[in-house]
Amino acid sequence: MKTLLNIIWLIFSGLWLAIGYYIAGIICCILIVTIPWGIASFRIGNYALWPFGREVVETRSAGIGATLGNIIWLIVAGVWLAIGHVVTSIPLFLSIIGIPLGWANLKLIPVSLMPLGKEIVDSNTVLPRYQQR
């Protein structure tokens, strides 16, 4: 089921979202100072390409640098990305087949708001991996 949803997602939303995140990542990496945001943008792009069956989790090793970076990202790009995800999810919710796609789009909002200090893992490994800590 996850594969079918991912294929439908790729056709209707995922490819365009991923391309946008990849372009942003390339621009951030060209500007040298913004390389951490570029790497995060590539990570979000991969997640936006194939979101079903994967989850975003906090990394414990993220420190004050990630927090400050997230504040800067939130002001510069995060709010606009979140608005874009909300606007994109509205037409997806209008059809029955698009409801899971709309939810997946809304699931991208937290990581688009604050991408640093996050890790994207398979849904199957979330519980066993993080219950031990």
Q: What does the pLDDT look like over 10-19, one tens digit per residue?
A: 988 889 889 9
Q: What does the pLDDT look like over 34-43, one tens digit per residue?
A: 899 999 999 9
Closest CA to 4 of 54, 52, 46: 52
Which tokens is 60 given? 């414990």
What are the φ and ψ backbone dihedral angles of 54, each rounded to 5 degrees?
Answer: -130, 155
Which residues, 6+ apart, have CB-to-CB distance to 101 below 8 Å? 5, 8, 9, 12, 13, 89, 92
CA angle 17, 86, 27 (to 5 degrees): 35
CB-based contact 101:8 (threshold 8 Å): yes
pLDDT at 129 over 70: no
Task: Name the average pLDDT for the chain.
Answer: 87
Residue 126: predicted pLDDT = 62
Angle between helical axes of 99-107 and 2-9 (0-180°, round to 10): 80
Q: What does the pLDDT look like over 84-102, one tens digit per residue?
A: 899 989 998 998 888 989 9
CB-based contact 58:117 (threshold 8 Å): yes
